[in-house]
Structure 1
């Protein structure tokens, strides 16, 4: 099969869909891989690295897109809509619940769009292609939050770890899944006072085995959220509902009660965000101030560490890419996990969770 790897076009998105080592594996299986020139530069892979691995370097995005299977990292942007082709398989992160326009264009194009974030292992609720980026985003959320708490960055000047004689900063994490757990690991390591709120009591029990008394674990309800958010120096949104928009858990009124210069990092922003005042930003302009609070809303946070993130992503995606390359659409019949990743096929919106978000598009 011919596989295309375009250069990512999202602002400062330096990850790449396939690493040179992944290209070599696919080449050894008899597939042809076409990589847009400089697609891997930001992740530390130059064109020669890809040539040595057996890829053909192409000079334009069109030449990379004009293939049976296109492997990317992030969703197509408006500038790429005209490159979508009927009968093509697109394998990438999509997060359609937060992007009606893209959903409509994918339906119109006739592509089979398989989203990394909805590939699911049946019966386990595990999302194997979302997990590595969630780990990275969770860890980065505290790293970035600590940075923007610095007064020179607009923050209130709090050192999360404190020092003897001065209390540490308070980190509040909404959601105890992969993102929330990894955020807590870093925050605890820095010496912060940490709270995690989640609606799953079993998950809270599991987190107790990880953190013991180092993290305060609370059932997530409006009363507990309100009390925690008011005192937070750093608030991290880590809510995930598979394929759906994140629920708004923090209202504008509640944000207004936070300490001036406190920081919000909402990792759920690519699914709409769980904080009313937060909207998507970019690596070029990552923050803004609303109600006196610093808001960080970059939806592709792992793009800040592309060398690590590209390899972590490829470790998880390569087996699925191989199946699609070897068997085409029959791979969806062979592998139930991969089938669950299909969001759009045959001009139809097919993923149940995304259908709930856009019911009027189901029969369009």
Structure 2
């Protein structure tokens, strides 16, 4: 199979989907690998690093798309890329289709197959290809949020852990999944006053056992959320329904109850955001203010700010499945690894992922088994 690494053209996105060690695995199995020149510069790797393992370097992203049977990327194809997709081409990358009608239609019209990292799901409902980026985003959420609390950034001017004789900042984490637990670890490490909410009592019990009286755990319902958010200095929202558009658990009433200079970091923005006013921002201008002075941080590619760590963490978990797709084709790969099946959002132009269909009821939905040859 001909594997393409076009590189990322989304603003301030410097991750790369395949590091040289991973590219070498494809080459060693007899596949041809092509990469756009300079695609890995953002993580300190050169074209020569890839040439050394047998990758062919092409001058433009367009050339990579033209020669490739499978595109291995990080973020969803951008408008410029949608026009380059060929019928039957496989896209193995994050897609986040549920809040993105134009991309969904673009993949369907092109006759492409879209395998979304974020919806590959194990039998125990864990998301192995989303987990490392969720962990990065959770840790970053506290780091970035702590920085935005600085007065010159629009925040209250409060230090997360305080100092002797002063109050610590109150951090409220919504959701105790991978991102929420990563954020919790960072917030506790910085000695903030931390409360975490979730509907999964087993998760809360586990965190209580681990952290003891260093944290507070609360069952997540609208009343508890409203009470905690009202007095929060920093809210980290990690709400996720795999593959589906995110519900607005944080309401405008909750936001309007917060003090000016409080900060909301909406990690859920990739799936549409967890507040009614969440909108994607970029690292060069990552925040906006609400009418009552709350600072919203909604970067849609948070791990892209730490591209070296993120690229290697992502490559560690995606390589196995990418090799299976290249070696066996899509059908053979899902037979070997059943967890890949829910990763298929679009198959040869047919929408086959139910949550995306629910988001866009005007698009025809097909069961995967009915369209797979």
**Shift in Å at residue 360 of structure 1?**
2.1
Question: Any conservation in 1 of the 2:352–2:365 contact (CA below 8 Å)?
Answer: no
Give the secondary-structure state (helix, strand or coil) at the position aligned to 1:235.
Answer: strand
Alignment map for 1:97-108 (pairs within 5 Å): 97-108=98-109
**Shift in Å at residue 334 of structure 1?**
2.8
Q: Distance in 1 between matches of 2:211 and 2:117?
A: 30
Alignment map for 1:306-325 (pairs within 5 Å): 306-325=307-326
Q: Distance in 1 between matches of 2:219 and 2:364?
A: 36
Q: Distance in 2 between matches of 1:246 and 1:363?
A: 20
Q: Distance in 2 between matches of 1:22 and 1:166?
A: 49
Structure 2 residue corresponding to 1:355, chosen from 323, 347, 357: 357
**Shift in Å at residue 333 of structure 1?**
3.0
**Shift in Å at residue 154 of structure 1?**
1.0
Normalising to structure 2: TM-score of the pair?
0.95
Q: Distance in 2 between matches of 1:346 and 1:363?
A: 13
Q: Distance in 1 between matches of 2:276 and 2:349?
A: 33
Q: Distance in 1 between matches of 2:254 and 2:22?
A: 46
Alignment map for 1:1-364 (pairs within 5 Å): 1-66=1-66, 67-122=68-123, 124-290=124-290, 291-329=292-330, 330-363=332-365
Q: Distance in 1 between matches of 2:329 and 2:151?
A: 53
Question: Any conservation in 2 of the 1:244–1:271 contact (CA below 8 Å)?
Answer: yes
Q: Distance in 2 between matches of 1:272 and 1:38?
A: 31
Question: Any conservation in 2 of the 1:237–1:275 contact (CA below 8 Å)?
Answer: no
Q: In the TM superposition, what whole-angstrom CA distance separates every residue of 1:4-35 from its partner, at most 9, and x where no partner exists?
A: 00020101100011111111111111111101
**Shift in Å at residue 229 of structure 1?**
0.4
Give the secondary-structure state (helix, strand or coil) at the position aligned to 1:97.
Answer: coil
Q: Distance in 2 between matches of 1:213 and 1:346?
A: 53
Give the secondary-structure state (helix, strand or coil) at the position aligned to 1:325.
Answer: helix
**Shift in Å at residue 332 of structure 1?**
2.5
Q: In the TM superposition, what whole-angstrom CA distance separates every residue of 1:101-149 from its partner, at most 9, and x where no partner exists?
A: 1111111111110000001112x10110000000000000000000000
Question: Any conservation in 1 of the 2:247–2:274 contact (CA below 8 Å)?
Answer: yes
Give the secondary-structure state (helix, strand or coil) at the position aligned to 2:34.
Answer: strand
Q: What are structure 1's unaligned runs of at least 5 residues?
A: none
Q: Distance in 1 between matches of 2:164 and 2:29?
A: 59
**Shift in Å at residue 363 of structure 1?**
4.3
Give the secondary-structure state (helix, strand or coil) at the position aligned to 2:362.
Answer: helix
* RMSD (Å) for aligned C-alpha atoms: 1.1
**Shift in Å at residue 353 of structure 1?**
2.0
Question: Any conservation in 1 of the 2:237–2:274 contact (CA below 8 Å)?
Answer: yes
**Shift in Å at residue 362 of structure 1?**
2.5
Give the secondary-structure state (helix, strand or coil) at the position aligned to 2:311.
Answer: helix
What residue number does 2:371 align with?
none
Normalising to structure 1: TM-score of the pair?
0.98
Question: Any conservation in 2 of the 1:266–1:297 contact (CA below 8 Å)?
Answer: yes
Q: Distance in 2 between matches of 1:357 and 1:200?
A: 25
Give the secondary-structure state (helix, strand or coil) at the position aligned to 1:98.
Answer: coil
Question: Any conservation in 2 of the 1:251–1:277 contact (CA below 8 Å)?
Answer: no
Question: Any conservation in 2 of the 1:198–1:220 contact (CA below 8 Å)?
Answer: yes
**Shift in Å at residue 277 of structure 1?**
2.3
